[in-house]
Structure 1
Amino acid sequence: MKHLILSTDWWTDCDDAVAIRLIANAVKRGEVCLDAVIVNAFLPESVPSILHFMADCGLSHVPAAFDRDATDYRGKPKFQYPLTELAGGAYDDYPAVSPVELLRKTLANANEPITILEIGFPQCLAALIESAPDEISPLDGCALVREKVEHLYIMAGNYANEARGSEHNFNNTGRSARGGAVVCEKWPTRATFLGWEVGHSVITGSHLPADDLLKRLMVWHGSPNGRSSWDPMTAELAIIGDAEAAGYETVRGHVSVDPATGENSFRRDPDGRHEYVKKRLPDEIYAARIDAAL
């Protein structure tokens, strides 16, 4: 069984929630084990809103950690407030474990290879690989990742123009730009990037019944007729674990991120540890596959 760590911004867009539902259903089918959730953007409602949604999806057993310093991301979250009202104070005393602590503990205790899925801002992964040895593990972060992580799947960047791309998860603030630069430079394992150009035209979630909490969340977001599928496509790719089997062509090389602007670029190299994906199938096939799994 594939072991997965999810890192999400749970911020202004609702496709994170679609990805979480997709993962939760894969857990129910016995395809993956979700070992931890990292939330890398923060407002007070982040904690109760995502924990309430995870519980609704059957993931209340999964530990979560929040980057409580990450309050500077641009945009106005919408669905967190009604979800917090539904939670009714149930998570007011949730432990304040840091993302790096939970990541290091999860990796140090892992007996099987871990797949990491990043669908938000990358500063927590950057902090992990720059972390020092501690009481959790004698390994520094880079060595711990090299020993325990099998693959990183990350929704970030835009590769339609390899020389220069711009996308929200890298360029939102200096925090995300610096995090992206560190991850792309120092992350020691293979990494697969799904860019903005892949998911924006694939619309999912429109078919859900009105009383489904995911549907209500999408309505609160302003997407009652479905939403672009950047995050669920990346989640599905991580679950399948094979880009060709998932319907993608891959381009090998090296992703770089400007730490000042968050702009990304790509240099082709058949021996590079990075790859980005390109769709081989019509949008409708990806959408139907994701909708069927919700």
Structure 2
Amino acid sequence: MTSWRTGFEEVTVDVAGKVVLVTGAARGIGAEVARRLAARGAKVALVGLEGEQLREVAAECGGRAWEADVTDWDALKTAVDGVVDHYGGLDVVVANAGIAATGFVRSIDPAAFERVIEVNLLGVWRTVRTCLPHLIASRGYCLVVSSLAAIVHIPGNAAYSAAKAGCEAFADSLRAEVRHLGVGVGVAYFSWISTDMVDSADRHPVFGPLRSGMPGLASKKYPVSAVGKAVVRGVEKRARTVHVPRWVGALKLFRAFTPRVVDTQAAKSVPAADRAMATADPTTSSLVGPGGEAARKG
């Protein structure tokens, strides 16, 4: 392994001893990433909601937990200051915290829609802005978690797609702004991953069949372990992009054509789904999974 890079060529670096802050680390992707980085010797700082669960994961990792809502400036500052005071600095940030809501635009709970935007996009912006002075000091690395949803915008997923597309654009601009300061910025794109969030969405009476009925690889779910491995590699290489599965990277080359493909597929399934959504119990068009419930309370 080489030392932490100061240039911009892609090299492999040793994360052992590096201080890594992971948001949304109580479960799912965040917890998996924290465990795998800790196993490589990183000093992990877990930030998120669901305090008890967060502390359990931190204990498994030999790290520390800071309970904070990523949309709360004051709570974030307190958490980041605590991380820096405890570990003496900050080398890597994985801006992972995210939630989802199921529902069509005309019938979804407006509060749920806006909470997705607030957590998934504004939460990333607030996390990065709060951590950025410390990353500049360490010439560190930031990985913003976007999604396949930033590339393929399916019905019933408008809030999530809008937020993740915003994350991608935000990270691309940020990279150009901080490169001369020695900070690397990457964007992660994941397809459907077997997490509590996706599994809960699959139990939705309308969105679940829509998602599982998508053609070919578009409906397949991938293990969270695959994401953990890919993110560790991405952090070690200070990568510009991380893709799970790898075909997501190839799909980006054809993104101009994806809206037409979605339109064609949706014509077969959306009319009935739209009627079902419009007449469904309003509680079914809200935030999904334990993380969504924690964000709703937050």
TM-score range, shorter chain: 0.3 to 0.5
The structure with more helix, counted as a fraction of residues: 2
Give TM-score, length-normalised by structure 2.
0.44
> Which has the larger Rg?
2
The structure with more strand, counted as a fraction of residues: 1
Give TM-score, length-normalised by structure 1.
0.45
